[in-house]
Structure 1
Amino acid sequence: MQFFCKAGSLLLHSAHTNAKDLKESCSTCRGITDNFKKGFDKTTKKNFGGGNTAWEERALSKYETSEIRLVEILEGLCDSSNFECNHMVEEHEEELETWWFKRKTKHPDLFKWFCIDTIKVCCPKGTFGPDCNGCVGGSERPCHGNGACDGDGTRGGHGRCSCNQGYQGEFCLDCVDGHFNVFKNDTFSVCAECHASCKTCTGSTNQDCGECKPGWAKSEGGACNDVDECSKESPPCGEQQYCLNTDGSYSCQACDKACTGCKGAGPSNCLACAEGFKEDEGACTDINECEQPDEACPGEHRECVNIKGSHRCICSSKFEEKDGVCVQTEEPAASEESQEVLDSEPPEAAEQKYPEGHEDL
């Protein structure tokens, strides 16, 4: 029994693989016939450049249906790396030659003659499968014009419909939630989108909702209106956030840095001012600690730098902090070579370089 189960699985896998291969074979064949047409057009006006018009006319007439021209076209059908394409051309080169020499005049459509009727890897549009059966809804309007027929135009696929956005059902005649039928009969259906507030509807306005979407509620008049979650007694956001209502929903936004709690955006909507800020004409503004009567940065050689909501203490130029105090930065000792240069300079040059008050190195 176990053996048969495995064999069945292999057969199912093989059937799936074959169906996929059949679709790809049709795509490969279409690429070949498209490239054949490009090669045909490219070689139509081949220039011999001999200057002898009568000879060229005779030569071109022969070249037009010659094997030389066919070989040139065949050489350009596939990229060297495309195994499927090259394999198909090699396998069916004889059929291509037959079309070129014997069938081209009577059957000018190479794709139909070669891919559909001769090697049978494709089907006419609107049909699918080994026998080119009609798609759901008919070959003229597969899926009633509201979807795509699986395998359409190939010898693969199962023929079921993949409906376009807004449509559903076996025949793509029904509307999905959030859409309604503008028109519908047994073979034709047009769906349109409901109002943003409707989960189901019969028309395009918020008065036509059968059921409201989450975040919307029906009024006494029957319309679906937005629920303002931000106006509830217990707002849904955190202490350092404010609630922003949107259609059918809400979002929580961070309060301004100047605020401790807020009711909206910006420093003018603070419930209280954060540390380092003060209320000024209805808004929380930064306190400049560096300008306060009490010295913000006590100690020698220290400077105060104000930043939003706080301040920093830094050492003055040419000083650095060590063990909590600002000490003078140690300058590197002069090398013997630079000292020799100084000693060799005339006094006037030294005075220009190092004016009075300069500390010797």
Structure 2
Amino acid sequence: MRVPTSIVFFNLFIILSVCMNSIHCEKENLDKEELKSQKLPPCAACKMLINSFKEGLEKTSRGKFEGGDSAWEEDKLGSYARSEIRLIEIQENLCKKIERGETQCHSLAEELESLIEEWWFKHQDTHPDIYDYICIEKTERCCPKDHYGSTCTPCPGYPDKICNNNGKCKGAGTRKGSGGCLCDKGYIGDTCSECASGYYESYKDEKTLLCSACHAACDGPCKGAGPKDCEKCASGWYMIEGKGCFDIDECLKIEETCSNNQFCVNKEGGYTCLTCDKACDGCTGDGPDMCIKCTEDYYKKDNMCINLDLLGRKRQEKWARYLTYFGLCVATCIISQRNVYAASIIGLLVSIYMTVSEYMIAHSNAQHAMDILGLK
């Protein structure tokens, strides 16, 4: 028995879909495994573990002993807030919500388990922040905020003007990095204390330096915000000595800037080319009144290019009108089968409507043609 081709193709489609889905799932699993096995730098890994521990603290912050008489249990077992039971609940859920570096997190949790327990039972009062106790003080994996390097050296400008508040200290908070300043956009210098080329000092006092961008007319340094403050003009601008930079009007040479059937629009530092109206064969601006010549099927009247098809409607408009008339006639015929008199009246009205409509359309087209051709 011959199997229909449609069934063969359907089965092939099912097999292909299953294979594609299997490949997709396998790729997703590989991606997840890669994320889990990724290794973070020592400080980032320690911070990841402690953040997971803090999430556990928040989750169990309203917990209590599971027995029926929690007051009796707290009296006998001590406060739940610092109990071993709560610690175990937190440790059991460590690293579970972490995607990147989960394997490293679990390994680090085992390595630092005794330190975490030591903090939990002995040092919560003296070291309220477990991050400072574990990551900075005990394991020396991280540095305090705005410190860097193996000896946790203060960043430039510490404590209140790190890189003059215009950049970031490289390696801040870790045992790595050079401590150099990575300046924000618009600032340069070892401590981000100067304005970069293309920027000027818009404000400066003993504590603050603000650099603002020069005007678009400037190529490089400037003394202020306007085009008159440029030391050199950018492309698309020209310099008048003592007055600053002025925009070049590229559209004065339109034949050299835009292609055929486009017109030029000048803008600061450049220009753009836009397509002419569909009525135009070359133009100086937008609209059918800006044509140099009219395109095929258009006629110039009073400096405007107008469609020459004035002796009747477009073909699709004619078809729409005739189909409407046909529909009215069919409706009249259907009504006549039930009530001849009503159909006669409706038929008369439809005939009048069609006659008047055609007369008005013809008169309108003729008048329009005469106006365009200058005939009265």
Give the TM-score, by structure 1 length.
0.68
Secondary structure in structure 2 of the residue aligned to 1:253: strand
More helix by share: 2
Spell out the pairing of 1:1-361 with structure 2 (5 A cutoff).
24-48=41-65, 52=69, 54-58=71-75, 61-79=78-96, 82-184=102-204, 188-199=208-219, 200-232=221-253, 234-288=255-309, 291=312, 305=315
Structure 1: gaps of 5 or more residues: 1-20, 293-303, 308-316, 318-351, 353-361
Deviations 1:143-201 (A, max 9, x none): 22111122111112232322112112332122222210134579753211222322321
**Root-mean-square deviation (CA), in Å?**
3.2
Give the TM-score, by structure 2 length.
0.66
Structure 2: gaps of 5 or more residues: 1-37, 318-322, 324-336, 338-376
Secondary structure in structure 1 of the residue aligned to 2:41: helix
**Structure 1 residues 166 and 71: CA distance shift in structure 2, 3 A:** same
Aligned residues: 281
Secondary structure in structure 1 of the residue aligned to 2:94: coil
More strand by share: 1
Deviations 1:232-258 (A, max 9, x none): 475411222111111111111122221
| CA–CA distance in structure 2, aligned partners of residues 235 and 190 of structure 1 | 43
| CA–CA distance in structure 2, aligned partners of residues 29 and 91 of structure 1 | 11
Deviations 1:298-320 (A, max 9, x none): xxxxxx8379xxxxxxxxx9xxx
| CA–CA distance in structure 2, aligned partners of residues 114 and 148 of structure 1 | 25
| CA–CA distance in structure 1, aligned partners of residues 186 and 316 of structure 2 | 59
| CA–CA distance in structure 2, aligned partners of residues 51 and 95 of structure 1 | 33
**Structure 1 residues 269 and 99: CA distance shift in structure 2, 3 A:** same
| CA–CA distance in structure 1, aligned partners of residues 254 and 283 of structure 2 | 15
Alignment identity in percent? 39
Secondary structure in structure 2 of the residue aligned to 1:114: helix
Secondary structure in structure 1 of the residue aligned to 2:273: strand
- Structure-2 residue corresponding to 1:344: none
